[in-house]
Amino acid sequence: MIKFIDISKTFMVKKQEINALRHVSLDIHDGDIFGVIGFSGAGKSTLLRMVNALETPTEGIVEINGSDINKLSFNELRKVRKDIGMIFQQFNLLESKTVYDNIAIPLVLKRMSKADIEKRVSRLLEFVELSDKKNAYPAQLSGGQKQRVGIARALSTDPSILLCDEATSALDPETTDSILRLLEKINRELNITILIVTHEINVIQRICNQVAVMEQGNVVESGSVLSVFSKPEQGITKRFISTVMPDKIPDSVMEKLKQDIRHYKIIKMRFLGDNVDENVLYFINRHFAAETNMLFASVNELQKAVVGIFILQIIGDDTEIDKITTYISEHNIQWQEVKL
Amino acid sequence: MIDLGVPYSQILLAAEQTLYMVFISLAIGTFIAIVLSVILVLTNPSGILKNTVVYNLVNTGVNIIRSVPFIILMVFILPLTKMIVGTRVGTTAALVPLVIFIAPYLTRLFENSILEVNKGIIEAAQAMGASHFEIVWYFILPEARGSLILSVTTGTIGLIGATAMAGAIGAGGVGDLALTYGYERLNFPLMLFTVIVLIVFVQVIQSVGNYFSAKVRGH
Ligand SMILES: Nc1ncnc2c1ncn2[C@@H]1O[C@H](COP(=O)(O)OP(=O)(O)OP(=O)(O)O)[C@@H](O)[C@H]1O
Ligand SMILES: [Mg+2]
């Protein structure tokens, strides 16, 4: 369990204060894949680096499994750090060492015997599917392969927490996907709590179960990915989410609507989790004296659940439209009117 | 064979003396320079053991010695030389000024080599729970190794130049041979020969340095 309690961080640069974090409080539970998203400079890395005390708060407390990390002696801190793996955007591998030696370093620091190191590194290489690159140097690897080495290195000491700072931001979409799958496997099979900071919303969408949105040092919104994605409150959150889950009427459709002189109402419906049920639409068309016209639809998978967004034009008189919206509400479907 | 005006045994001895001076002072100087440059990098204002007092002390010391020309340095520290090796003249006596000359020079070169190491690697090391010594030993030095070797190569070549002046305190060596026999006795073939020998020395050292530097960089 990682607890950020009212964390603030102020940097002094040329006598000028930079408030990198302002009163941030977050709880990250064991087994979570917790994502922190925000634009560049929001304070994400600063927050992440507090977990292993690479950065210390100006105010507030960082608790790891119940103990204040900034109250530890340097030697105690080093022990805790060995229980927290970390991977980086730029991989930070030793260019002068082979893949094998890179992964072995944390174990050498633990004074593990050569034979035990050999065994562990071989297992890790298998886990990240790089056994054939054992003797290669980082310069001979692709970005995705380098990140796999970084991951194997971070896992070598059997940590209970893995910190990822923009771990996929230097990678192409396909490679990103394979790294995200690997992180998911790590969370599931090794039961490691993962904290990811990123500016890519699709990373959050793909693997996180919890999310916090940061803007200028503040956490402006947080909660389960399903709840935040299905009901974003803040402008920044809506902007992030709309890039992976579009919810706008396409321009060409909009043009036609403007010329539509009939009496109608446009509603946007969000089907959440497992209540996606196309029968509702079928039912509306069968049982109400109104014409419906689908203006936009998207269906997205989130956390193995489905989030559907439908924008429907209902053409008819007011009483009939009201009956339909009541019917939709009765089926626990969120909806709101869209004004042109 | 060409007659160079001096016995081959004397030429051989001179070469031996130069190699002796270069390699002994290089070995000691490199060791000192590694220690000093690591101290500089760790204690500098953005280092992981930021310490203004230590940093300024070492930094200023290095600057002061670096600003004294070798020939003056050599004469200036004669008393110190006498204290350490018991005599002011001879090949061994020359080692003291040579070390004092080369150590700060290498310190600067090494400092640059070490500063080139990607900061992210030091951060990764800290995140792994490495101690300060471990960060230097397992991360910084291996990563800087290729560049350090090139710095040693540059330093070695500088040392060869300095040994020629060490002749002034009776240290012998190839440079001294060229000066006393070649220049003062107008022995042109000998002078040419020593120049060629020095060029070969420098070329060999540079090639060996380049080879090992490339090798430890691993690609
Ligand atoms: N060591 C430092 N000294 C001074 N200012 C810093 C330092 N580290 C971070 N900052 C400042 O704090 C703010 C937050 O930086 P941080 O690196 O946490 O942002 P970020 O969200 O990770 O951004 P990015 O997506 O670009 O990595 C920025 O304004 C940055 O300039
Ligand atoms: Mg960052």
Burial A76-87 (b: 16+ CB within 10 A, else e): ebbebbbebbbb
Same domain membership, residue A224 and residue A104: yes
Query: Residue A223 pairs with which residues in a beta bridge?
Result: A211
Q: Which of the listed residues A242, A266, A291 is the one where a domain comes to its end?
A: A242
> Strand A210-215 and strand A218-224: pairing?
antiparallel
Cα–Cα dist B46/B145, whole Å: 22
**In chain B, which residues have their Cβ closer than 8 Å to the Cβ of A96?**
142-143, 145-146, 216-218
Same domain membership, residue A265 and residue A173: no
What is the predicted pLDDT for the residue at B1? Answer: 58
- The bound ligand whose nearest atom lies closest to the alpha carbon of A214 is 1
Same domain membership, residue A282 and residue A237: no
Q: For residue A331, what is the DSSP state?
A: T
Q: Which atom of ligand 1 is nearest to the CA of A12?
A: 4
Same domain membership, residue A216 and residue A73: yes
Dump pLDDT digits (tens) for A209-242.
999 999 999 999 999 998 898 888 899 999 998 8
Residue type, B3: D
Smallest Cβ–Cβ distance between B128 and the set A93, A98, A106 belongs to A106
Instruction: Put residue A62 in one of left, alpha, beta given phi > 0 → left and psi -120 to 50 → alpha.
Output: beta
Is-contact B162 B22, C-beta < 8 A? Answer: no
CB contact under 8 A, A140 and B219: yes
**In chain A, which residues have their Cβ closer than 8 Å to the Cβ of B130?**
78, 109
Q: For residue B138, what is the DSSP state?
A: I
A311: CATH: 3.30.70.260
Q: Which atom of ligand 1 is nearest to the CA of A44?
A: 21
Cα–Cα dist A117/A204, whole Å: 34
Q: Quick one: three-class SS letters along A116-164?
A: HHHHHHHHHHHHCCCHHHCCCCHHHCCHHHHHHHHHHHHHCCCCCEEEE
Which secondary structure element, helix H or strand E, spans residue B144, and what is its range?
A: helix B141-165
Cα–Cα dist A78/B73, whole Å: 46
Same domain membership, residue A224 and residue A289: no
A55: CATH: 3.40.50.300
Of A37-46, A220-229, B23-32, B193-202, the one with minimum mean pLDDT is: B193-202
Is-contact B190 B177, C-beta < 8 A? Answer: yes
- When pLDDT is cut at 50, 70 and 90, the band that residue B184 belongs to is confident
> Strand A161-165 and strand A210-215: pairing?
unpaired
Cα–Cα dist A228/A72, whole Å: 36
Q: For residue A213, what is the DSSP state?
A: E
Residue B103: name the closest of B60, B56, B159, B149 by CA. Answer: B159
What is the predicted pLDDT for the residue at A273? Answer: 65
A43 to A5, A293, A316, B127: CA distances (angstroms): 16, 44, 51, 19
Residues on chain B bordering chain A, Cβ-to-Cβ distance under 8 angstroms: 118, 120-121, 123-124, 126-131, 134, 138-139, 142-143, 145-146, 216-219
Q: Which of the listed residues A193, A210, A242 is the one where a domain comes to its end?
A: A242
Name the token pair of A192: 């490691």
**End-to-end C-alpha distance for chain A, whole angstroms:** 46
- When pLDDT is cut at 50, 70 and 90, the band that residue B90 belongs to is confident
Protein residues with C-beta less than 5 angstroms from the ion ligand 2: A 45
What is the domain range of residue A263? Answer: 251-337
| Nearest Cα residue to atom 3 of ligand 1 | A11
Dump pLDDT digits (tens) for A60-119.
999 999 999 999 999 999 999 999 999 999 999 999 999 999 999 999 999 999 999 999
Query: Residue A293 pairs with which residues in a beta bridge?
Result: A313
- What is the full per-residue pLDDT of chain A (340 aa) written as tens digits? 999 999 999 999 889 999 999 999 999 999 999 999 999 999 999 999 999 999 999 999 999 999 999 999 999 999 999 999 999 999 999 999 999 999 999 999 999 999 999 999 999 999 999 999 999 999 999 999 999 999 999 999 999 999 999 999 989 999 999 999 999 999 999 999 999 999 999 999 999 999 999 999 999 999 999 889 888 889 999 999 888 888 888 888 888 888 888 889 999 888 776 665 667 778 888 888 888 888 998 888 887 778 888 899 999 888 889 989 988 888 878 888 888 7
Domain count across chain A: 2
Is-contact B19 B159, C-beta < 8 A? Answer: no
What is the predicted pLDDT for the residue at A307? Answer: 82
Is-contact A37 A199, C-beta < 8 A? Answer: yes
Phi, psi of B164 (to 5 degrees): -60, -35
Q: How far is B213 from chain A (nearest CA, A)?
A: 11
Smallest Cβ–Cβ distance between B219 and the set A54, A108, A139 belongs to A139
Name the token pair of A327: 């019917």
The alpha carbon torsion through A217, A221, A226, A231 (nearest 10 deg) reads -140
pTM beyond 0.95: the answer is no
Same domain membership, residue A285 and residue A150: no
Instruction: Assess A79–B contact: CB distance below 8 Å, yes or no.
Output: yes
Same domain membership, residue A208 and residue A288: no
Nearby residues of A258 by Cβ (< 8 Å), 6 or more positions away? A340
Query: Residue A5 pairs with which residues in a beta bridge?
Result: A61
- When pLDDT is cut at 50, 70 and 90, the band that residue B4 belongs to is confident
Instruction: Put residue B90 in one of left, alpha, beta given phi > 0 → left and psi -120 to 50 → alpha.
Output: left
Same domain membership, residue A275 and residue A237: no
What is the predicted pLDDT for the residue at B190? Answer: 85
Dump pLDDT digits (tens) for B126-182.
999 999 999 999 999 999 999 999 999 999 999 988 988 888 788 888 888 888 887
Give the distance (Å) from ligand 2 centre to CA of residue A13: 18
Smallest Cβ–Cβ distance between A96 and the set B124, B126, B217 belongs to B217
CB contact under 8 A, B129 and A86: no
Same domain membership, residue A267 and residue A194: no
Give the distance (Å) from ligand 2 centre to CA of residue A103: 24
Is-contact A66 A1, C-beta < 8 A? Answer: yes
Q: Which of the listed residues A242, A262, A284 is the one where a domain comes to its end?
A: A242
Same domain membership, residue A292 and residue A177: no
User: Looking up tokens 């471990």, which residue turns up?
Assistant: B134
Q: How far is B24 from chain A (nearest CA, A)?
A: 28
What is the predicted pLDDT for the residue at B195? Answer: 86
- The bound ligand whose nearest atom lies closest to the alpha carbon of A22 is 1
